[in-house]
Structure 1
Amino acid sequence: MTPDVAPPPANRPRTEAAVAPDVVPPPPAHRPRTETPSETTTRLRPVPAEPDPALSWSAPMSPGGVPGAGRPASVSFGEPGSRPRPFARRTRGQVVAAAVCLVLGTGLIGGAVTGAWLADGPEGPGTRHAFAVAGDLWHEVPVDQLFPPTVQGRGAGPGEADRVWTRIAVAPDSGCKGAFDALLTRVLAPVGCERLLRATYTDATQSHVTTVGLLFTEADAAGMEGLARRFERERLDRRSDLMPLPYAAKDTAAEGFGPGQRASWAISVLTDAPVVVYAVSGWADGRTVDEPQPAEDAMRPGAGTAPAQAGLGHEARGLADRFERALRQRAGTPTERPS
């Protein structure tokens, strides 16, 4: 039989405390699509010491043609202070009861924290926040920071030789209609297309050209995990019929860089960001490639194909890796999990 518990004295104040787990609002199911003015290489400006919102992909245009600027307001959260209550004289029974409550309360709180950790994974809410931040980078990061005019590739070439790539063209941001071959379009369809950003680079000798693409999807973390598993299970990143298309800009070294000139490529489906990163490389002289080779195969020691001998696999993989790493750093992803 449970003993009766005497009610608290009338003159003793009652306090009720509730411990609620942190609740992080999920990212919006769908971000509104906005059409933005096209950015070309002739309009790009140097990057200031602090990022200028007017250079972002989605900066509004004023009637005079000057991009508008607007900085997001920062919000800080303060914790209300509390004054310690003076200790009153207590009986031995009260001290024992307080100790029991302390032990039970600590166990309950510890169990709740452990349960939340197991439910969210080791990264917890930070990972979900970074995922949402990465999905917004396409309209928040200036063009010259998302696609730098020069990219350093230390140890990225054959034999760990250094590489330096120079940007020669930036495509206007767009949707995905007509941006991929039909088969690759169907493979990517489950994650949707929020925005597609592309730029083409050339090496220091201007003999190779490489297009880098950042496909910002409409998928959540589960959707990106599913696509990544399919790419890994079916080895879709090795199939030549799923090569991305290059961006051939007129009056540049990449003007003749069409579908028939694709020599090597790399595709990474990120699981900690709603982004698919890809790169496709070829020769700048417009020569046709009969047997393109995925970057992973072209980079193997002893590979004797023309793309491998020219180092075009290193060009594609080297640029794709650096853009993938930069995107993660900007999003503040806690860990770089394999994609």
Structure 2
Amino acid sequence: MSTDAEFADARHIPPIPPQPPRRPTAAAAPEPAEDPQTAVLRRVPPEPSVPPSAPAAPSGSGAHTVPPRPTVPPRVRPPAAGAPLPPRQDRAPGPSAPTGPAGPGRSQPAAFRDTAAFHLANSQELWSGAGERGAGAGPGTPPRTRRSASATPPGSMPPRPAAEGPSAVPWPRTPLPPQGVVPAPGAPPASSRRPGRQVPAAAVCLVLGIGLIGGAVAGSRLTDDASGAPPTAEAVFAKGRDVWHDTPVDTLFPRTVNGLGVGPGGADRTWTRIAVAPDGGCTGAYDPKLATALAPAGCVRLLRATYADATRSAVITVGAQITKADQAGMMALNTRFSTKNLGIRTDLMPLPYAAKDTPAADFGRAQRASWTVRVLTDIPAVVYAVSGFADGRTFSEPQPAEAAIRPGTTTAPAEAGLGHDAKDLADRIEADFRKAAGSPTQKRDASS
């Protein structure tokens, strides 16, 4: 019945028609014995009603009593016209409905308030976890604890158990800077600084970098000391005695020698090797007077080779005698050749190497036109060169190379360039022997 009907005039309420008489119940049909296609529903016995006068459980006991099930009031017939309305049972004076929390097995309280204000009041506990802090909580503020069930005010919803919903995952919080400290402009945020990891890594990189730089510097110094330092004069002199068997012949006597601007008038010269004599002793390699002059130095080996110029008209023999003398002996021999002019005497000319079946086959004593003899002091060697014509012509007045290369000289050796051939090839072979011995200087000791 609606609220408007409760306060309306009973005279305007239409009478309820009487119920029709009950029909006699027909005889129940016999139930089938077994019907596999039909499910038989059995009657459920009614629950026993609890008398309303049951005593309530004391408030201090832990047992929870089950409230009585509400009974359905009997159908009330409308009062007659002019009779007062009977009072409603839900508005009759009596004990109020319980407003405490509904425990297990108990029905929902009648005073439950399903309103927006109730949800707003309890939404903080639903959204915030046990470890979350409220707004404005500082580092020293203790975390808020949940209220117990006993502190729940009447009429409010108790907190949900942890098993009923997902656990709240706390969000990571950025630590706040200390009060009174203002970060410098451009400085990275405090959360991105990790000195515990960056400082050891930076220290390791610094140590490794210093070690690598120090090792490179030390290695370069050791390399400079090992390879860049000039060898001593004793080491060069000792090595020069062994260059004849430690150095290839093509290094000491190249197959082709190019002289740029070394010919008469600055002309270019090219010489090609046409023969190499087997290495051997000095017996029979010199005229008797030259052999006597070189005898104080001794002879270990004599190396010789013959070259021809580009026109095949001039032939030149170059040689190197490896001596047995020490540095003092070579210095004394050089001084003797220089002071007594032994290098320009025609009776002390070296002999040519006339290889058969070559342009120098006719190159003998009478064909010698120009020559040079050099006693070296930094290595134990005597270098010489002698030149002549390939056609076998003879010279009655041969001329030393140092004299034939002077400007304005009109002799046959000078005009033919034989003096330039002897001097320039001797310079080249002398430089090759010094280089093979490791001599730092390319000095020329000429005997004239």
Q: If the TM-score is normalised by the length of the shorter chain, which range does it land in?
A: 0.5 to 0.7
1:215 matched to 2:353: no
For 2:377, the equivalent position in structure 1 comes to 271
For 2:110, the equivalent position in structure 1 comes to none
1:250 matched to 2:356: yes
Once the two structures are superposed, residues 222-243 of structure 1 have per-residue CA deviations (whole angstroms, 9 ceiling, x without a partner) of 0110010011101111111110
For 2:159, the equivalent position in structure 1 comes to none
Alignment of 1:291-306 (within 5 A): 291-306=397-412
Amino acid paired to 1:263:
A
- Partner Cα distance (2:383, 2:257) in 1: 16
TM superposition shift of 1:338: 4.1
- Partner Cα distance (1:292, 1:125) in 2: 41
- Partner Cα distance (2:261, 2:236) in 1: 29
Point out where structure 1 has 5 or more consecutive residues left out of the alignment.
Answer: 1-122
For 1:155, the equivalent position in structure 2 comes to 261
Determine which structure has greater relative contact order: mean sequence separation of CA pairs < 8 Å that are 6+ residues apart, divided by chain length: 1
- Partner Cα distance (1:313, 1:172) in 2: 26
TM superposition shift of 1:125: 6.2
Alignment of 1:83-122 (within 5 A): none
Alignment of 1:141-180 (within 5 A): 141-180=247-286
Amino acid paired to 1:130:
V
1:290 matched to 2:435: no
SS in 2 for 1:226: helix
CA contact (8 A) 1:184 1:244 kept: yes
- Partner Cα distance (1:200, 1:166) in 2: 9
In the superposition, relative to structure 1, how do residues 232 and 287 fare at CA in structure 2: closer, same or farther (>3 Å)? same
Amino acid paired to 2:359:
A
SS in 1 for 2:333: helix
- Partner Cα distance (1:154, 1:124) in 2: 29
After TM superposition, the score normalised by the length of structure 2 is: 0.47
CA contact (8 A) 2:383 2:430 kept: yes
Query: Root-mean-square deviation (CA), in Å?
Result: 1.3
Aligned residue pair count: 217
Pick one of 238, 245, 263 that aligns with 2:344.
238
Pick one of 360, 366, 373 that aligns with 1:260.
366
- Partner Cα distance (1:236, 1:309) in 2: 25
- Partner Cα distance (2:269, 2:382) in 1: 23
- Partner Cα distance (1:245, 1:278) in 2: 10
TM superposition shift of 1:334: 2.1
After TM superposition, the score normalised by the length of structure 1 is: 0.63
- Partner Cα distance (1:144, 1:338) in 2: 22
SS in 2 for 1:179: coil
SS in 1 for 2:373: strand
- Partner Cα distance (1:294, 1:156) in 2: 17
CA contact (8 A) 2:320 2:382 kept: yes
TM superposition shift of 1:270: 0.4
1:315 matched to 2:315: no
- Partner Cα distance (1:130, 1:293) in 2: 34
Point out where structure 2 has 5 or more consecutive residues left out of the alignment.
Answer: 1-228
For 2:434, the equivalent position in structure 1 comes to 328
- Partner Cα distance (1:214, 1:291) in 2: 25
- Partner Cα distance (1:295, 1:148) in 2: 22
CA contact (8 A) 1:183 1:241 kept: yes
Alignment of 1:184-203 (within 5 A): 184-203=290-309
CA contact (8 A) 2:231 2:438 kept: no
TM superposition shift of 1:331: 1.2
Pick one of 326, 329, 332 that aligns with 1:226.
332
Q: Tell me the percent identity.
A: 62
Amino acid paired to 2:240:
A
- Partner Cα distance (2:242, 2:272) in 1: 26
Once the two structures are superposed, residues 320-339 of structure 1 have per-residue CA deviations (whole angstroms, 9 ceiling, x without a partner) of 00111121122111223441
CA contact (8 A) 2:247 2:436 kept: no
TM superposition shift of 1:301: 0.9
Once the two structures are superposed, residues 68-101 of structure 1 have per-residue CA deviations (whole angstroms, 9 ceiling, x without a partner) of xxxxxxxxxxxxxxxxxxxxxxxxxxxxxxxxxx
Amino acid paired to 2:309:
D
- Partner Cα distance (2:442, 2:432) in 1: 11
CA contact (8 A) 1:127 1:334 kept: no
- Partner Cα distance (1:302, 1:181) in 2: 31
SS in 2 for 1:171: strand
Amino acid paired to 2:281:
G
CA contact (8 A) 1:126 1:334 kept: no
TM superposition shift of 1:290: 0.7
CA contact (8 A) 2:230 2:440 kept: no
- Partner Cα distance (1:143, 1:334) in 2: 21
Amino acid paired to 1:296:
E
For 1:116, the equivalent position in structure 2 comes to none
